[in-house]
Structure 1
């Protein structure tokens, strides 16, 4: 899989132990989607997102026109960011922390078979890799960061956004 600088700005490398099992569904505090993660919502203005007290600004060296942030509970090294916020569209990407799960129960540690069962219409693209439209929110997609054996992480993104060109 070819990585570009723009793609690597969104791609998360999730490190740590593997979960022994996959929860059937995420509880509300750890749910990523269909419209956000906790109090951080897709489309939320930068001011409102900052007012939650849950994010911290960061500087990255990547070709993006948007502000980069991390969740205070999950900070990324280097040129990775947990959120991107557009001046025009508000929050456009939210990378779930390791414990985050989609409402369908998919998250770090899920197997490729579990991913395909939960999202039978998975697609592939050069920009995003493995992704699927978010059930209940046709304006959003999940990007699944997948190895041969498991899901490494999940990002919720507005499908039409102006952060990455």
Structure 2
């Protein structure tokens, strides 16, 4: 039995007899509400536009002009009329993904978090020249989280490629 269990887990599936049905759905739900370290759900940083569209998880919102990034939404988390949920760069692919309400980093930071919570989750947090906090993503040296705060609380959280070319 142990050999079978090891083989099944090594294949990335949880198929043990008698496992509660919620074990798989809880894991899937967690992936759907977690931003980082490599993306959100099926959408991954660095994916080309073609790859991102093939996931079925994104919808074009604003086409990019020559050499610029296109604005997209995550189908499951529409961002509203004047916003986008992510940017896809012609050069870099998925370059920036924004957190929606209820979405958190693996360390538990999301919209509404405080600077104290950010510093506790990310002791290495720095402040950009613009005045906004940012930190390298644990487990992904090619990405960062940026936080915009108002009245002491995060109102915008983004996961971005260090090389993204869509926003300042």
Q: Structure 2 length as normaliser, TM-score? A: 0.73
Q: Kindly provide the CA deviation profile for residues 86-132 of structure 1, in whole angstroms up to 9, marking residues without a partner as x.
A: 12211000001111100100001222211110111212224582111
Partner Cα distance (1:99, 1:108) in 2: 7
1:41 to 2:44 alignment: yes
Aligned residues: 139
Where structure 1 has 5 or more consecutive residues not aligned to the other structure, the ranges are: 1-25
- Higher Rg: 2
RMSD (CA atoms): 2.4
SS in 2 for 1:27: helix
Return the match for 1:101 from 104, 107, 111: 104
Matched position secondary structure for 1:156? strand
Greater share of helix residues, 1 or 2?
2
Classify the secondary structure of the residue corresponding to 2:108: coil
Q: Please give the residue correspondences for 1:75-154 in structure 2 after superposition, counting only pairs within 5 Å.
A: 75-78=79-82, 80-127=83-130, 129-154=132-157
- Aligned equivalents of 1:60 and 1:117: distance in 2? 38
Give per-residue Cα distances to partners, 1:131-153, cap 9 Å, x unaligned: 11101111100011212332223
Displacement of 1:159 in angstroms is 1.1
Query: Matched residues in 2 for 1:120 and 1:62: separation?
Result: 38
1: CA distance, partners of 2:122 / 2:104:
13
| Bigger relative CO (Cα 8 Å, ≥ 6 apart) | 1
